[in-house]
Amino acid sequence: MEARRGFEHTAPAIEARGTLAPAVEEFVRFCYHRRRVGWPELYDEMCAVAARGVFRGWGFAELADQGICFTLSDLPGLAAVVAAVSSDERERARRVRAAAKAAGGAVPAEAALQSRDDGLDGAAGAVRLEPVSLAAD
């Protein structure tokens, strides 16, 4: 794979408002499933995944082609996606636990952490971006 230096992404997939390119959400969910943490810890995981090409074999350049950049100016958008995805994943896990409790059964660890196909809402889970602060709480 040829390394590219000085590349620019002209069509960012992460915007303050609007929808996400599917690859952006998939990448963040992939990283979240590897390490269920929030911002900024997930940023470290995303950088590690990109450095090793673990997600679809994509490195930093290929992710930038999809609009996923790790530059300082792109961090607010990336942090917003992480916040939305991690919130969505926690809500899905909560619904799975509630459904299992209502059915009178114990919740298997895999079901509590399951995200995409929980069968409770039938939707694939589109992420809605909300403003986010990068300041530590």
Question: Which residues span the domain enclosing 63?
Answer: 22-113
Distance CA 33, CA 129 (A): 19
**Total structural domains within the chain:** 1
pLDDT tens for the chain, 137 residues: list them.
455 555 454 444 455 445 678 899 999 999 999 998 888 899 999 999 999 999 999 999 999 999 899 999 999 999 999 999 889 999 998 999 888 888 876 655 555 454 443 333 333 444 545 544 555 44
Residues 45, 28: contact at Cβ < 8 Å? Answer: no
| Model pTM score | 0.64
Domain assignment present for residue 125? The answer is: no
Residues 107, 100: contact at Cβ < 8 Å? Answer: yes
Domain assignment present for residue 17? The answer is: no
- Residue 28, by phi and psi: left (phi above 0), alpha (psi -120 to 50) or beta? alpha
Domain assignment present for residue 130? The answer is: no
Neighbours of 33 (CB within 10 A): 14
Domain assignment present for residue 56? The answer is: yes
Domain assignment present for residue 120? The answer is: no
The SS3 of residue 9 is coil
